[in-house]
Structure 1
């Protein structure tokens, strides 16, 4: 940091000390010129000495307070000792220096700067100038030192108050965002509960009443049935109206607008510069994706100020054909050893639930880059997904068909009540995705999934069941199924997950995924004792290996990005993911691990 940047960060007390120093040095210089006839040294030499006594300690103060104290005592003290040998009253010129020494005696340096200033220098002055008023001189210097130390305490208190005020500002902003997120999630939870209970009940009533119509022969019975149906439909419309009213204003805003609003509020409260960049044309997103990006930006901004001490933050939002990426780059201090906290774990969990990922790149002196990437999940305007629903309960089959056919891009082409019928309908209807229950008569869902995948590998299979059995879930996934969800899922999320699986994604219910990961980790600890890892164990992609090879050659990320025609943030994202898979913290460890594993030649 240069001198100009340092001066720009000064507070009022820094300017007071500079003015105090200027006034004292200027007064001494004028007095020296007036009495130069009685001075033994040449005038130019004495003026030069005074300039050094003024400038050198002040420059040292910008580096370290200990250097300042030593140079102030040596240069200013030496000058006063010389002048008092000629003029005993010249000790008064040392008073500004005594004040500044006390002000800048940080930590416990006052234990030695005080005795040197109050006792040693007056003693030397008495010896050299035969000063008769030694006690008065020591009292004057001691009193000025005490005033300077009191001013020092005032400065320390002011600095601590500024730090507390800044932290309180960030904390208030963080609490405000937490309150907003909590309200939004509570609205979301309540809307789900209403939708899954009251809405589901109304749907069941309507479907049940419709099935009674053929059994009613009298006109009065049909009129009564129509009246009940109208009442039920009116009730479900009212429920939907309440659900829309429960949506928070944040959820109704476009993603870019809500993120910019968050950045502007944070910039106003935390006193940092937040700059936005957008790439691509914005398109609608589900509210779960909006909330994930909102939460990711909120946590990244807070961490950048609280832990990274950043002053400038750049937020980039990229809308691409198949995914959306949010990058938050700060100019903070960074860190060599990054540890995921509660907030970052929550960000990663949100992204994982939407089949996305969050990565963090940080290095000491280079700031921090947080990247959140989510796949695009919207209705397909140019194609329709053909669905086959397999469930042994007729009511569940009909309910799912009613719910899913409310979406333009979803079409139910068949209903099956067991595994054997599901295989027959796959041949007849050629569905693109099968919603499969597990507990089926004649042939269960696992066996049916295996046969469907063997015969029609292109058909995507999404298990939709009631049970949370980890052994069963692992067997299902090994059989070739592309997803595992619970029937308690909210209908809108079901439609979005169907689109995701149809595009090639793999999906596992959040609660089930935690159980599966715990089981797999336990199995891994039991079976893999000291087994050396290979490329298959690390599960690195070809692109990640390519970037590791370029990193091993000493190339910087910007050079790699230019060479591969990628953005700098994308290369950092690939590198961070590779480091995570290898279980390393930096490029040196990654190169060593890659050499041991045989990735690098």
Structure 2
């Protein structure tokens, strides 16, 4: 009750003051005329106190209960007093005003006739000395004034709601603007680093080898070629700054990488061989650029840090993934340290559910492997969303935020899990944004039902909870990702796109708790092996399935993960075990006791 009172505004205090004034006046008047009462004074005063408190208490919970108790208790009191004192009928005017002010929706259909027509009719029946139509006029005016006060209250509440929503939207817009600017700076820094670093390494190496040939005709030709490369690099930088298409993007991936290798061989005087295996298929723009930047960075590092003279580039088009391998004969490194360029490469791959791995040792050169799951270009595809949350304000706010992105479309809103299941059958959304704690049917049960009926629908749990036990149960039940409601709007949009592409994402604040819990559940001797090699519970689980001869696709269906996510876990496990393929991984796992 105290919390409700703290939320009162000016009109609540006005109505309370009116009730107190009328009630106090009635009690004082009753004491003055107690000899004319037909009931004991204490019972009449108790009746008056009940008529003051009970309706007001009911109003705190439901306006319909208030209307009934107000008419019955206070109306009955006024009828009793009017039967004794005909001039007491105006006492009910304030109550009529309050009834009109607190009526809503269809309640006007019965509160207006009851207070304006029926109650005056009763007053007239017990006190004929009063004019019926005069009383109807008085109560009608009181009811109209109360209705006008109700409109004033509704207008104030709507203005407050709009003000709060505008404040929230302004906050989100400010966050979106800040994040967009930060990401744009990061994007430009990566693009400029990859482009300028690669181009100028080629130019510097070319000029170094040009020194003894400057007086010859061949030297002049090579100088012109280097200048042309510099001009192309400047134009490419300008293209990125103005969001124009890179010249290499109009070519296929194999031709782009071939051209890149040929230019590096020509200008850096390094033997670069390129080979492509398998039938080339269309890749997304992001995947294509990731491979191009990976090759640029690998070639640059091979010459700059490893002093390589021969580099072999292999591009493999497999059914489920595309892989780029760059092997050099450089000096190698005792300890690999990741710089800005390598971090940018890994970030690009991770955004596409892929992975970049580096193998190096002193005197043995360096091998860089970039693997991305096969994904079709989805730039023109519209992602249909279903938002499920029991809070109307949250549903509408999410719709407003997500509809700002051209590739996201909110197909419908659901207020609980039961309605979400029905709307999934009607709209067939691509991604469901699911809350957990809801009436009628919670998000956990709804997720299982959706996955059983429509396995292709992706479900992203969007909640405030951080319960790892429930998170693990939901993952086993088919949830495709977890994101906390404190996430930034841009992070939410990117996560939806990732989930739609077939990826799986768990909020970083939750993932550490989940993986720690999984790691704690590993029993000896597996726990010792996991600690020695840094393997997680999920990686060990996938290794055990691999040892049974299961394919990645089968493992993914058993664990309710995407094919690309399973491959990422497997690749990570292979790197930690120091092996290159499934056969070596199974042999190593048998040796250290992970599988039997």
- How high is the TM-score relative to the length of structure 2? 0.44
